[in-house]
Structure formats: structure tokens, C-alpha cells
Amino acid sequence: MSARVYRLLPAIIAGGALGFAVLWVAVIAQPPPIEGSPGWRSTTFGSAIDDPTSFLYTLLDAVTFAGLLFIVASGFTLIFGLMRVVNMAHGTFFLLGGYIAYELQQKMTGQGFAIPGEEVNTWEWIAPVLLAAACIAGIGLLVQQSLLRWNQGQDLRQALITIAISVIAADQVIAHFEGGNAVSVTWPGKVNRLVDLRILDVQYSLARLTVLALGVAVGVALYLWLYRTKTGVVIRAGVDDEQMTSALGINIQRAFAIAFVVGSALAAFGGVVGASQGAVASGQDGQWLLNSLVVVIIGGLGSLLGAAAGSLLYGLVFSFSATYLPTTGENCCTQYSIVFTFILLALVLSFRPRGLFGRPG
Amino acid sequence: MTTALPAKTALPARTVAERSVGLAILVFAAVGPLFLNDYWVNSILTQTFLVGIAAASLIFLSAYGGMVSLAQTALYGVAGFIVGNMVTQGETKGLNLGWDPTLAVVLAILLTTALGLVFGLLAARSVGIYFLMLTLTFAVIGNYFFGQVTLVSGFSGISGIDRYTPGFIGNVVDHPNRLYYVALVVALAVYLLIRYVRRTPFGLALQGVRDEPVRMSSLGYNVPLHRALAFAFGAFIASLAGVLYVWWNGQIDPQTIGLQATIDLLVVAVIGGLGRIEGAWLGAFVFILINNYVRDIEVPLVGGSFNTIVGLIFLAVVVISPSGLMGIWDRIVSTQLGGRGGGDPPAVAESRAD
């Protein structure tokens, strides 16, 4: 009896926490009172029943952020899934991608620092994206061939090598790209506006919806590539059994190189999208390494579906904990939203140590 | 003692050599303040001792538990922030509880060890590279926590902690040598404690868990529990370093435990050598020397600063000698004196997840 309870404990706790969170957002939360001090139920907007418009905004923020998370984390999980390389320089590739695209866009439009959206045409956004992704893909290939290839199987050593690269690159970014200050890539004018969703009077940023669309597009493209092409078959075979695949006469090293190139390019692509949506700045390499790590630890390393699920969960927790925590008093409580990332991670790991879709071995 | 050594056998030449070098360094450290200038005593050596303690907690987990943890900086920061919150009296961020410093230190060590146990229980079932990533996540979340939660710290951190030390240390600015000796004694105690723990039944079981988790499990050992307890012990050591750090530095802020600091501690441990405890202080000394004397050099050809140099050295160590400077020492000693090593395998070279 007690052993059974003990085994079910994580599930009970997780279920209870989830149920309470849903109830809280749906009905318990209240908008702050017009006068007097807010009570323990006071949140920024109040419950979803009271204020469905704000709820919808928060939900849209969550899924569009998840789109960006997925672009970056899918590259991370692709590299890990095939090669067992934890690329600690993934956040660095993100940052470099953003900065390279910024420089290119500045050159193309001939503008200084901040560019008004309407002066950027679609091509002036797509060309920097492609070039930045190509540059980072080249750097990724170089790193993989010169430093990681001969260490195959020593995963800790490979992780340390990529950490060394991230240390050097972080310093080089400060030396060569605007002193590491925050810069933004400008969305093309066509997407840089609000659209009327025709539900509950929501006017939502088309740019953010584009991020979501790009995330979905990356997911679909990766799925088709991995499951419908010959290269994809080779890569999946390499994930399952590297030695057998290479014994069958397949050039597994080529598959490794391709996976590393695609993974690095996705990090750079994510960097450009991130720089367009907000900004990139020195120090964000660590933040995006963390984001990728959290997503793939939740979802399970090496799993595309896991990366999608992890992105969505992380995006939801991130967005809702920032908006729906009580706002009582000066020191409470929205600042604790970071703790919820940890709680999410702890809940998932306590009953799925390899993440939601991770496979043993 | 479970490993009863035969009494009165002659020690191997290697052990004699290492003990003589160790003793010489210890004597030098003990009399150092008599002839070294203040800069060396306060800035370089005191910092070496305390950073070495933090690195020793990382190396302990790596060498005997097979777990490379990136959470040690965060745990060390947690201890520092707890002390800072408890001892200060107004005029800075945080809770400003104004408690007795000795009580604060004891509580900080206990709470940090408890937190280490919680982290350890969460991470115990992950091994190798998964463990590295999970502890990195702990570390970065810890950093953001102290950055965002203004109740306990906020972005600017807590300052003026060095005015509230236990009586025998006094004001650190007025009596830097006292802190120097405290740090030296704590470092020596940590070193001896780790050497003792690895010979205890727990330490031996831990090394069994490192090498053969499945076999240990089938022998009836609780593998996750051993890992979690080792992690808690590592947190205990890291908390000592954290307490010394806030006394030495006087203030602590979220940047103290940021990603840069986390990587720096890993660099210290890797440069020293992940396989041997002695490497902690050797790595700390080398890193701090570079940090202090190579600061203003502009890197030729590529540009960049001190961090580019550190990164390049780190890369060179990982590529050339994965067991760090202690690994180079081991190689020199074994070619000169013969005989096999002390039984601690280099951690990086042969660790494979799963």
C-alpha cells in the first residue's frame, strides 16, 4: 500500500499542481481592486472568465514564444540526438547569427542603428537570415571537423570543447560587434503591424504570429527531411545504431557533418528571429543555451516531438507565470516567475528522468 | 578504517615526492604573510584558497562520483547570499536581519547542504552529460532567481558583508591576514576531509557507483541515494567557499554566480585537473594569476581581451591534456619515478555517459 502511494506520489503532486494552476487561471484569480490593497487572489488581469481578452493575449504570447524556442532547441536536439554532442556553444551560435544578420541588414539598407520597419522590404530581411545561417553553418562545420570529430564518444570532453569555444566567441563578440550592446534586426514592413484576429477584439502583432509560423514551418520541414528523404533515413539509422549503420557501408561521418551544419544554422536562424522580435545582446548566449537546455530536458534529448512539447510547455509556463502570479504587495509575486521554470523541470524529471519523449540508452 | 594498510611499509617514492612538495607549499603558505606584499596575500592567495575550495567540491564530485557539476557556483552563491541576508543591518538590499555572524554561517552551511541534497535527489538519476546539463540549468536558474527576487537580493546584490564577521576574524579590511589564515585552514581541512571521505565505506561505495552503477545496484547499494549524498557533501564544501567569499569580497550580487562565473569555476577545475583534488588549488592559482596579470593585454591578430586568452588556454588543456596540469604532473612523476599512479583515474578522458 505505502509503496504504491510512494510510487504514485510524483504523479499525484504533478496532477494536483497542474489542476490548481488551471483552476487559478480559469476562475480563482481576480483583477486588482480599484481601491485598497490587493488581496492574495489579485493578479494583473484577473481570471480567464473575467477577462478572456487578456487570457487570449497571454496564450498567444506563450505559443509565439514557443515557436522561437522550438527553432533554437530543435537544432540543439538534432545535434545531440545523432552525435551525442551537447553543443554548449549553441547559444553562442544564436548570438552570432543575430549580430551577423544585424550587420548585413545595416549594410543592405544603408541606415544607422535603428531602421524604421516600413523601409525594410522582405528581401532585406530574408537575405541577412540566409547569409547569417550560412556563416554559422560554416563555423559549425569547422568546429565539428577540426575539434569534435576525433573525440567521438567522449561526450564530456566534447562538451568542454564547446564551452571553450563559447568563452572565446563571447569575448570576440564584444570585441567585434558593437561592443556587445543590444541590437535589433528590423522585421520587413509587411509583417511589422497588428492584425485583427476577429475574436474578442484582439489586435495581435503579425510579427509574433510570423515567429509561430516559422517555428511550425521548421518543425514540418525537419519532419519531412528526417522521415521522408534518404538523408533523413541515414540520420535516423545513425541515431538508433551508429556502428551498424556505418558497417552497412553508409558514410555516417557525412551524416554527422550534415546534422551539425543544420543544427548550427537553426541556432543562427533562431538568433535572427530573436533579434527581430526583441534584441540580441552580449550575455544572451547563456540565456539561450539555458532555454535550449530546459526545452530539451523537459521534452527528452534527441526527440523532435519532445522539442515541440518542451517548447510549448516552457512557453506556457514562462508567459502565464509572468502574468498570473498574485501582485500582492511590493515584493510579491510576479518576480518569482523564474522559480516556475524550475518547478516545471522538477515535476517533469521527478517522474520522467529522461524527459517526456526521451528514450532510454 | 576499512582499508587496513599493512603497517610500517616503506612509502612509494611517488608518495614521498608528492608529500614533500605538498608540505613545502603548506609551509610557504603558512609563513607567506611575513614576506609577501599585501596584494599577494589579500588578493591572490586568499582568493586562491577560497576559489580552490569551490573547485575542490567540483573535482570531488567528478573524481569520485563521476559527476561533473556546474551547480557548485550557484550553491556557493546561495551560501553567500544567506550570510549576506542574515548578518547585514540595513543600508543594503536583502532582508537585513542583523543576526549573529556565527549563527548565520552555521545556518548558511546547513541550508546550502540541504538545498544540495534536494538538487542531488532531483539530478541523481541523470548521469554523464545529462547531469552536466541539469546542473547548468540549476546554476542559471539560481542566478536569475537572485537577480529577479528583490526581497533577498535583486540586481545590485548585497554589500558591506565584511563588516559583520565573527569576532576572531574582525574587520577584514583592517585585519586581512586573519582571513588569509582562516581561508588557509579551511582549505587544508577541506583537502584532508575529502581525502578521508574517499576512504570511508561511503567514499568507496561512491567510487563503485562511479565505475559500475549497475553492479553496485545489484549488490544492494542505493545508487541514486549515494549520488545525492555526494552532491550534498559537495554543496557543503561549496558553502564553505561561499562564506569565505562574502567575507573576502564584502559583497555579492547575481553576477557572482552568473554563467561566466560558473564557466570560470569549471575552467579552474579543468586546468587543475578533474581527476585529483590537489588540482583545485593549482588550477585556482594559475587562473587567478592569469586573471590578475594578463588583464590589460590586447590579444594580437583577433582582438578581444583576457577572456579570449582564458578560453584558448582552456581549449588547449581540454585538447592536449584532459586531466589538466595534475595530469601533466602525474605523467612527469611516473616517467621519473616509475610505478603506477595513485589510483584516481583521470576523469575526463574515459568518462562516457550511459
Question: Helix B223-249 and helix B46-65: axis angle, to 10°?
Answer: 170
Count the residues in chain B. 354
pLDDT given for residue B125 in this prediction:
80
Q: Helices then strands (H, E): number in chain A?
A: 12, 2
pLDDT digits (tens, 9 = 90+) for B13-47: 778 888 888 899 888 888 888 888 878 888 889 99
Q: Tell me: the pLDDT tens digits for A120-157?
A: 778 888 899 999 999 999 999 999 999 888 887 787 88
So what's the pLDDT on residue A34? Answer: 67
The CB density around residue A60, as the number of other CB atoms within 10 Å, is 18
Residues present in chain A in total: 361
Strand A203-205 to A194-196 pairing? antiparallel
Residues of A in contact with B140 (CB under 8 A): 286-287, 290
pLDDT score for B346: 44
Q: What is the mean pLDDT of residues B98-106?
A: 87
Show the DSSP H helices in chain B as ranges. 13-35, 38, 46-65, 72-87, 101-123, 128-148, 176-197, 201-211, 213-218, 223-249, 259-272, 278-293, 306-320, 324-337, 347-350
**Percent of chain A whose predicted confidence (pLDDT) is above 90:** 29
Arithmetic mean of pLDDT, B124-145: 82
How does residue A189 score in pLDDT terms, banded at 50, 70 and 90?
confident
The reported pLDDT for the residue numbered A26 is: 77
Specify the 3-state DSSP secondary structure of A194: strand
**Four-residue CA torsion sign, A158, A159, A163, A169:** positive
Question: Rounded to whole angstroms, how far apart are CA atoms A313 and A18?
Answer: 12
A327, with CB counted inside 10 A (0-12, 13-18, 19+), is: middle
Q: What stretches of A144-182 show up as alpha helix (H) in DSSP? A: 155-176
CA distance B35 to B24: 16
Dihedral-angle region of residue B206 (phi above 0 means left; psi in -120 to 50 means alpha; beta otherwise): alpha
Cβ-based contacts of B306 with chain A (< 8 Å): 171
Contact B128 A353 (CB under 8 A): no
B201 — pLDDT class (breaks 50, 70, 90): very high
Residue whose C-alpha cell reads 533554437 in the numeric block: A72
Q: Using a CB-CB distance cutoff of 8 angstroms, which residues of chain A are in contact with residue B311? A: 164-165, 167-168, 171
How are the residues of chain A apportioned to helix, strand and coil, as percentages rounded to the nearest 5?
70, 5, 25
Whole-Å CA distances, A253 to A76, A235, A306, B297: 18, 10, 25, 40
Q: B123 — alpha (psi -120 to 50), left (phi > 0) or beta?
A: alpha
Tens digits of per-residue pLDDT, B270-313? Answer: 999 888 899 999 999 999 988 888 776 766 666 777 788 888 88
The residue whose grid cell reads 544607422 is A112
Residue A1 or residue A117, greater confidence: A117
Could you give the CA distance from residue A10 to residue A16 in angstroms, rounded to a whole number?
A: 10
Helices (H), A24-122: 52-83, 90-109
What is the distance between the alpha carbons of residues B78 and B108, in angstroms, rounded to a whole number?
Answer: 8
Please report how many Cα atoms fall inside a 13 Å half-sphere around the Cα of residue B312, on the Cβ side.
13
A289 interaction partners in chain B (CB closer than 8 Å): 136, 259
Tell me the C-alpha distance between A284 and A264, whole Å. 16
The predicted pLDDT at position A335 comes to 64
* Whether residue B233 has pLDDT greater than 60: yes
Percent of chain B with pLDDT over 90: 35
- Kindly state the average pLDDT of the residues A44-55: 79
C-alpha cell of B306? 583576457
pLDDT at A197: 78
Name residue A329's amino acid.
Answer: G
Size of interface A-B (CB pairs under 8 A): 135
Secondary structure of residue A183 in the 3-state scheme: strand
| Whether pLDDT at B347 is above 60 | no
Q: What is the pLDDT of residue B354?
A: 37
> Given this model, what pLDDT does residue B343 score?
46
The DSSP letter of residue A196 is E
Find residue A205's DSSP bridge partners.
Answer: A194
pLDDT at A253 exceeding the cut of 80: yes
| Contact yes or no for B275/B326 (Cβ under 8 A) | yes
Chain B contact for A179 (CB, 8 A cutoff)? no
Measured between alpha carbons, how far is B201 from B219 in angstroms, rounded to an integer?
14
B189 pLDDT exceeds 90?
A: yes
A260 — pLDDT class (breaks 50, 70, 90): very high
Q: Residue A36: what pLDDT?
A: 64
Question: How many whole angstroms separate alpha carbon A226 and alpha carbon A216?
Answer: 15
From A166, which residue of chain B is nearest by alpha-carbon distance?
Answer: B311
For residue B187, the tally of other CB atoms under 10 A from its CB is 25
Q: State how far the alpha carbon of A56 is from the alpha carbons of A311, B92, B177, in Å.
A: 18, 41, 61
Q: What is the pLDDT of residue B352?
A: 38
| A345 in reach of chain B (CB within 8 A) | yes
Q: Is the ipTM of this complex over 0.90?
A: no
Instruction: Provide the sign of the torsion angle of the four alpha carbons B209, B15, B44, B241, taken in this order.
Output: positive
At B138-184, the pLDDT tens digits run 888 888 888 877 777 777 888 888 888 777 777 777 777 888 889 99
Task: Give the chain B residue nearest A352 (alpha carbons).
Answer: B125
Q: Whole-number mean pLDDT of chain B?
A: 84
| Nearest Cα residue in chain B from A349 | B122
Q: What is the DSSP letter of B158?
A: B
Tell me if the pTM is above 0.80. Answer: yes
- Reply yes or no on whether the pLDDT at B1 is more than 80: no
Q: What's the gap in Å between the CA of A161 and the closest CA on chain B?
A: 6
Instruction: Answer with the residue of higher pLDDT: B54 or B29.
Output: B54
Q: Is A8 on the interface with B (CB under 8 A)?
A: no
Over chain A, what is the mean pLDDT? 84
Q: Do A290 and B137 touch (CB under 8 A)?
A: yes
What is the residue type of B310?
A: V
Name the least confident of A38-47, A257-266, B232-241. Answer: A38-47
Q: Are A155 and B129 within 8 A, CB to CB?
A: yes
